Amino acid sequence: MSGPILAIETSCDETAAAVIGRTSEPGRPWTILSSIVASQTAIHREWGGVVPELASRQHVRDICGVVEAALENAGVSAADLSGIAVTQGPGLVGSLLVGVAFAKSFAWSRGLPVVPVHHLAGHIESLVLAHGELPLPSAVLVVSGGHTSLYFIPDTGHYQLVGRTRDDAAGEAYDKVAKLLGLGYPGGPVIDRLAREGNEHAFDFPVARLTHADRNAPKTTAPAGLLPAEVARRVDFSFSGLKTAVLRLVRDLTGAPARGKAADADALGAMLTRQQAADIAASFQRVVVTVLLDRTFEAARWLGARSIGISGGVSANSRLRAEADARSAHYGIPVFVPPLSLSTDNAAMIGAAAMRLIERGAVGDDYGFNAEASLALGQ
Ligand code: KG4
Ligand code: ZN
């Protein structure tokens, strides 16, 4: 498989296709020949979040045009391709199935191999696509709407899970708080913007400290002893308490009854002044960014990491990027974040993770795999 590969990503609400080629530079092994993303945000905004059934139908409508555009922009024809990469999971199963079925049929009709890819491996390899190989070992935080997971990368293509959220993902917390403030969907970018007008010390939201072991921990995680048990607990995340604290504050500020229906909460945002909403956004964001970076830097120190990576949709956050740079300079450890185009979901990162699997010889030659909504990585 030396020619370019076509990559497809349909795990949530973006239909994406990209063509990825190889370079002759070992430190910067892959290059993006094209990357197309058709976002469904406008469709889901009306409902305040992603509606799975609408998402899969829209993927069906968009996938052919998106793939055609990716091939055309790259200036390659299907005959030039050496394989097809596709996100196998995790994600919405109906959405994943569109990409998987498309990839298998396209590949089968051309006699090409298909490489199933883990979505989070894609977010991790997006860093290499953007910056070249990271100094290893590395600690990489994948922080998105569906995940907040901290990985140790001892060697290229090896992902060991060392920390994760016990409840909501950070991006999910952004989306829920934005909904509560009446700011619309997706919440990350709007809170990011509004927070610039607010006082981040206006409200003191709690930081969840996890003192007990994770009873729902996956059976096998990173190798035993990689982190001392007490540190392993400290580098887990929890965002549901923070979301509830914001809800309580909004009820206090608006004089709404403490035990209203959750649905009523959505209307409360409209009763806040713009300054109150901005102060809440900034104070919420300060806590999220501090928690994410405190735990990532602490894990990196214990792991002896030579670099830190932060990827996934929330890595687009301007406050997170600025604070990560400042800490990088302070602690003398390089921190890598992808450009905005590679932070949120895209297919180029899926192509990169497939290239990694191909290099490692970890690719089978059958089409027997299926979409998996809760596919694990590094467990
Ligand atoms: O990686 P992604 O595109 O999809 C998943 O795999 O989940 O991440 C989407 C998430 C959403 O929750 C969105 O609100 C968040 O990333 N996000 C942001 C920003 N841009 C997107 N969160 C904070 N600040 C941003 N600027
Ligand atoms: Zn993602």
How does pLDDT run along the chain (379 residues), one tens digit per residue? 689 999 999 999 999 999 999 999 989 999 999 999 999 999 998 888 899 999 999 999 999 999 999 999 999 999 999 999 999 999 999 999 999 999 999 999 999 999 999 999 999 999 999 999 999 999 999 999 999 999 999 999 999 999 999 999 999 999 999 999 999 888 999 999 999 999 999 999 988 777 666 666 665 456 767 888 878 888 899 999 999 999 999 999 998 776 655 555 667 888 999 999 999 999 999 999 999 999 999 999 999 999 999 999 999 999 999 999 999 999 999 999 999 999 999 999 999 999 999 998 888 778 999 999 999 997 5
Residue nearest to atom 13 of ligand 1 (CA): 188
CA neighbor of 86 nearest in space, from 74, 101, 70? 101
The CB density around residue 162, as the number of other CB atoms within 10 Å, is 24
- As for ligand 1, residues whose beta carbon falls within 6 Å of it are 12, 144-146, 171, 174-175, 186-189, 192, 312-314, 316-317, 344-345
99, 87 contact by CB (below 8 A): yes
Kindly report the backbone phi and psi dihedral angles of residue 216, in degrees, each rounded to the nearest multiple of 5, phi listed first: -100, 15
Q: Give distance in angstroms: CA of 225 to centre of ligand 1.
A: 32
State the closest ligand 1 atom to the C-alpha of 169, by its place in the atom list counted from 1. 12
CA neighbor of 244 nearest in space, from 205, 201, 186, 199? 205
Strands 307-311 and 335-336: parallel
Residue ranges of the chain assigned to CATH 3.30.420.40: 5-123+344-359, 136-333
Hey, which CATH number is domain 5-123+344-359, 3.90.550.60, 3.20.20.20, 3.30.420.40, 3.40.50.150?
3.30.420.40
Q: Give distance in angstroms: CA of 312 to centre of ligand 1.
A: 7
113, 107 contact by CB (below 8 A): yes
315, 345 contact by CB (below 8 A): no
Give the CATH superfamily of 136-333. ATPase, nucleotide binding domain (3.30.420.40)
Cβ burial of 26 (10 Å; 0-12, 13-18, 19+) is exposed
